[in-house]
């Protein structure tokens, strides 16, 4: 029988659920952004879902952004950042993971998820999925990261941790879907990325049951 890692790698090479899965965690309705340039060029950015096995569970890292970063202060996010000159997007994701949470191990890249444009912050996020055979040591870059914590795939895929709330953003009433993971509220771009990842992992489990 193939390992979880090998099955996931195979699934990531297939057609991805993409926007349909991302939209499940999108704030609705979309906030009007008349102040944004119509042809604004989005900056490419890379993020990483870094998986590792621990205590019979598959875990990954999330971070809480510091109050000193330019965008999304204090929000929960995946390790990642803006692409630098002469590096690939996967190199961006790996570099940012090293810089933000201090992981220097040789990470195996299993594949990538669908790109996610975020016009409000000016980025197009390219999420990658990586693997380590055991939990690595972490060391946060305090200027960018307030804390780092772990979440299991079991928690992510459990429907009891998917929630929604009514709120107001820039004066507009909205419904905000989110994940409640390890006691933290995960919404916005990060939750949309994790929504696609969740759908892929759930689909893998469904295939196992009916195969």
Q: Contact 138/132 with Cβ under 8 angstroms?
A: no
Helices (H), 13-78: 18-23
pLDDT at 208 over 70: no
Q: Cis peptide leading into 29, omega within 30 of 0?
A: yes
- Tally the domains of the chain: 1
- The answer to whether position 121 is within a domain reads yes
CATH number for the domain harbouring residue 84: 3.90.79.10
pLDDT at 187 over 90: yes
Is the four-CA dihedral 102, 104, 108, 112 of positive or negative sign? positive
- What pLDDT does 83 receive? 97
- The answer to whether position 34 is within a domain reads no
Span 119-130, pLDDT tens digits = 888 899 999 999
Expressed as residue numbers, the domain containing 180 is 4-25+42-210
More confident residue, 209 or 140: 140
Span 23-69, pLDDT tens digits = 999 999 876 655 555 566 899 999 999 999 999 999 999 999 887 66
- What pLDDT does 5 receive? 96
- What pLDDT does 210 receive? 41
């Amino acid at each position: 029988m193939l390992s979880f890692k090998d099955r996931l790698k195979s699934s990531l090479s297939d057609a991805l659920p993409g926007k349909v899965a991302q939209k499940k965690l999108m704030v609705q309705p979309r906030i009007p952004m008349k102040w944004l340039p119509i042809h604004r060029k989005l900056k490419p950015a890379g993020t990483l879902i870094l998986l590792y096995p621990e205590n019979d569970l598959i875990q990954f890292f999330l971070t809480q952004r510091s109050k000193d970063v330019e965008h999304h202060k204090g929000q929960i996010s995946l390790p990642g950042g803006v692409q630098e000159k002469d590096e690939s997007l996967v190199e961006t994701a790996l570099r940012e993971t090293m810089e933000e949470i201090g992981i220097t191990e040789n990470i195996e890249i299993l594949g990538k998820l669908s790109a996610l444009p975020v016009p409000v912050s000016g980025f197009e996020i390219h999420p990658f999925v990586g693997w380590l055979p055991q939990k690595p040591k972490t060391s946060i870059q305090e200027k960018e990261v307030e804390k780092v914590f772990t979440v299991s795939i079991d928690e992510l895929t459990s429907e009891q941790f998917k929630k929604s709330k009514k709120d107001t953003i820039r004066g507009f009433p909205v419904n905000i879907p989110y994940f409640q993971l390890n006691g933290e509220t995960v919404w916005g771009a990060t939750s949309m990325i994790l929504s696609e990842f969740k759908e892929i992992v759930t689909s893998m489990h469904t295939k196992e049951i009916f195969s």
